[in-house]
Amino acid sequence: MLTVWGRANSINVQKAMWAVAELGLEHERKDVGGAFGGLDTPDYLAKNPNSRVPTLVDGDLVVWESNVIVRYLAAQYGAGTLWPADTAVRAIADQWMEWQQTTLLPDMFVVFWGLIRTPEDQRDMAAIEKSAANLGTIWQMLERHLADRPYVSGSEFTMGDIPVGATFYRYHELDIVRPNLPNIQKWYARLRERPAFCDHVMLPLT
């Protein structure tokens, strides 16, 4: 049985749990990180020297880094579904997973942390507004990409939708100015039809 270490309100844990749920895998999740602490214990550091969440334990295998966990689960348990059989389709899924980490995350961190996890009187609103404006431009890349396909890698839901979808939920829920993104909104509506997305990603922002 799989074990996922990490608190439910972490977006990185949510990615892993969404993949686990899509695949219908027997599992348990153990709360660590944030208010739960436990990341600096010898036992946890032996699993994950980064002292972050999530960490996946599957038998003798220990995997950390959220997008790597999603890829592993997809390859190991979702061949032909989350893990596309076509290498070209898989490359597109992988591309958007990387985009989430390298292009979206820096500004998302500024806005999310600033508005949700920083007391109001300590917020750097200039930095938040600048990053929110940057995100409006960045999301246009996906908006154009989705003009002729229902999911990020083509006609079917794959691992590529998971990191980007989890990020868009947070972006959608933040109290910021957002551009009109009709293609993304249609994609987002498809994601909201998936029970695993609703159960593990569409949680209160804390």
pLDDT at position 160: 98
pLDDT at position 165: 98
pLDDT at position 82: 98
Q: Which amino acid is at 149?
A: R
pLDDT at position 117: 95
CATH 1.20.1050.10 residue window(s) in the chain: 87-195
Using an 8 Å Cβ cutoff, are 198 and 139 in contact? no
158 Cβ contact list (under 8 Å, min separation 6): 74, 81, 82, 83, 84, 89, 90, 93, 151, 152
In residues, how long is the chain?
Answer: 206
Per-residue model confidence as pLDDT tens digits over 84-95: 999 999 999 999
CATH 3.40.30.10 residue window(s) in the chain: 2-77
pLDDT at position 43: 96
Rounded Cα distance, 74 and 22, in Å: 10
Per-residue model confidence as pLDDT tens digits over 101-137: 999 999 999 999 999 999 999 999 999 999 999 999 9
Per-residue model confidence as pLDDT tens digits over 191-203: 999 999 999 999 9
- Residue range 87-195, CATH number: 1.20.1050.10
How many CB atoms neighbour CB 114 within 10 A? 19
Helix (H) or strand (E) holding 62: strand 61-64
Neighbour-count burial of 135, counting CB atoms closer than 10 A to its CB (0-12 exposed, 13-18 middle, 19+ buried): buried
Dihedral over Cα of 15, 16, 20, 26: its sign: negative
Using an 8 Å Cβ cutoff, are 108 and 174 in contact? no
- Cross-strand bridge partners of residue 5: 30, 55
Indicate the pTM of the whole model: 0.97
Rounded Cα distance, 20 and 81, in Å: 13
Rounded Cα distance, 155 and 108, in Å: 27
Fold of 2-77: Glutaredoxin (3.40.30)
